Amino acid sequence: MGRLIAGCVAFLFSFWLTSSSFYEAIAVSFSLYTFLTFIEQIGQRIAIPACICFIAALEILAVPAFTYWVLPASMPIESTAYFAYALPAYVAFYTGLSGFSTQTKAYTHQHYLQSAGKYLNDRRSAGIVLFTIGLSGFLAKTFIPVVPAFMGTLPMYCLLISALYAYCSGSPYRVLLIGFTLLALLINTVRTGMFSDLFFWLLFLLMFGAVHSTKLGTIQVKTILMGCGFAFLLLIQSIKAEYRYNTWGSQRNERMANVSLMVELLVDRFTYPEKLLNTRHFFASFGRFNQGIMIGSAMAKVPLHESYARGEVLLALIYPLIPRLLWSGKPQTGGYENIRRFTTLPQFENTSINLSPVGEGYVNFGYGGILFAGLYGLLLRACFQYVFNLANRIPSIILWLPMLYIGCLTMETDLLSTWGSLVNSALFIAFLFWSLKRTGIEL
């Protein structure tokens, strides 16, 4: 009830006091509702779907609405035209992902984690094995940046899963494993200039830790952690552009680490906090999450200057199932081609921006993309529920949810990237369980 009241207050404030349109007011109020839902679910359940819904609302609804209020000229199309598609598309996505009921009740998520801990008590070696695999992947990614995901990124993620294994099973090495995992995350962030993995894995650890330990689920702790998360985001956005400018080349594999530059930037921001705490930086930081610019630009170009793709996006559901070794011309993930073809925005091969599945729905099906967004949400929900069903037989599988959904948390990447990440992770996890069981090691 409190979330609904807060949403209604946000609607009235937006509609009357800021003179915004009806669509903009609905967008802001719905975004606040999803944020409060996410905060409420932390500690009650593994809130990955609620997290995805909130981030999507922030990127597709809230930030575009604020931009229309403050700097409307920066948006490619009029507010009414944008929200006429974006708002119902988001609602369809939210409904598909959240549904009106769930098969797993809130209190059972703690039960699942407790079952995983008991299951792993007799399998203490599993965490050490995963740590070894993760360390191998980390070293491969560090010294051979172009190594395939199955030999680098996916094995490296086992470092983080090993930390969850150690934490839930009460391993005597848990502090050491978690500490080394965080160190590896920091090193990888400095090396690649990609800050999202660090932020999202910390968020995953919070979501799992809050369910496993009730102390982390109190309103006081949630408030402190959200405040720290907000400050961390401001810090990241403050240094990210400058760091990438000095460490990224023109190609995706031309990225280098510069520890001294990272330290210099961090010291500078802490020495001069006014560079962080000012209105201009606030707007610039959250403007980075404005998926409305990409979607709006696509709506301005398609179908007036570029024909609808007519379902080409559906091929992205098949591509991840075909190994690159068997198809050398397999499409690469990344935003370059989508931005070039469907928008009028500047494009670079080393770009980190992309068209979201909601945007892809429009460029493929027009307003039929609303249904596509709903089906995409339903697909993510079905995978989430399947993991819980599988956990009835293999309790530890619940700890692999972060690896499955690390590529699906935001609306900043296309379907090929999000679905490909989920499928590739699932195939890797299945192979890992099968192959290690053959050697007598049960995960």
Query: What pLDDT is stored for residue 335 in this prediction?
Result: 62
Judging by beta carbons within 10 Å of its beta carbon (0-12, 13-18, 19+), is residue 59 exposed, middle or buried? Answer: buried
User: What's the predicted TM-score (pTM) here?
Assistant: 0.91
Mean pLDDT of the chain: 85
**Low-confidence winner among 60-69, 110-119, 308-317, 348-357 (lowest mean pLDDT):** 348-357
Q: Are 93 and 358 in contact (CB under 8 A)?
A: yes
Give the amino acid at 143: F
Query: What pLDDT is stored for residue 394 in this prediction?
Result: 94
How far apart CA 401 and CA 47 sit, in angstroms, is 11
The residue-averaged pLDDT of 89-105 equals 79
Q: Are 199 and 232 in contact (CB under 8 A)?
A: yes
pLDDT at 300 over 70: yes
Return the bridge partners of 42, or none.
Answer: 45
What is the per-residue DSSP string for 155-213? HHHHHHHHHHHHHHHT-TTHHHHHHHHHHHHHHHHHHH---HHHHHHHHHHHHHHHHH-
Higher pLDDT, 260 or 204: 204
pLDDT at 119 over 90: yes
Task: Compute φ and ψ for 307, nearest 5 degrees.
Answer: -70, 155
Which range among 174-178, 273-277, 315-319 has the greatest average pLDDT?
174-178
How far apart CA 112 and CA 72 sit, in angstroms, is 47
How far apart CA 95 and CA 11 sit, in angstroms, is 20
Higher pLDDT, 2 or 36: 36
Closest-CA residue to 349 (of 327, 371, 333, 369): 333
Closest-CA residue to 159 (of 324, 413, 406, 421): 406
Q: Are 20 and 14 in contact (CB under 8 A)?
A: yes
How far apart CA 439 and CA 59 sit, in angstroms, is 45
Closest-CA residue to 212 (of 220, 204, 224, 201): 204
pLDDT digits (tens, 9 = 90+) for 329-370: 656 655 667 788 888 887 665 556 788 999 999 999 999 999
pLDDT at 104 over 50: no
How far apart CA 59 and CA 50 sit, in angstroms, is 14
The residue-averaged pLDDT of 319-323 equals 69
Q: Are 85 and 299 in contact (CB under 8 A)?
A: yes
Q: Are 130 and 181 in contact (CB under 8 A)?
A: no
How far apart CA 166 and CA 213 sit, in angstroms, is 14
The residue-averaged pLDDT of 282-303 equals 86
Closest-CA residue to 235 (of 183, 270, 186, 185): 270
Q: How confident is the model at residue 106 (pLDDT cuts 50, 70, 90)?
A: very low
Angle at CA of residue 79, ends 76 and 82, nearest 5°: 70
Closest-CA residue to 96 (of 377, 373, 358): 377
Q: Determine how many CB atoms are found less than 10 A away from the CB of residue 345.
A: 17
How far apart CA 407 and CA 421 sit, in angstroms, is 5
Query: What pLDDT is stored for residue 235 in this prediction?
Result: 83
Give the amino acid at 227: G
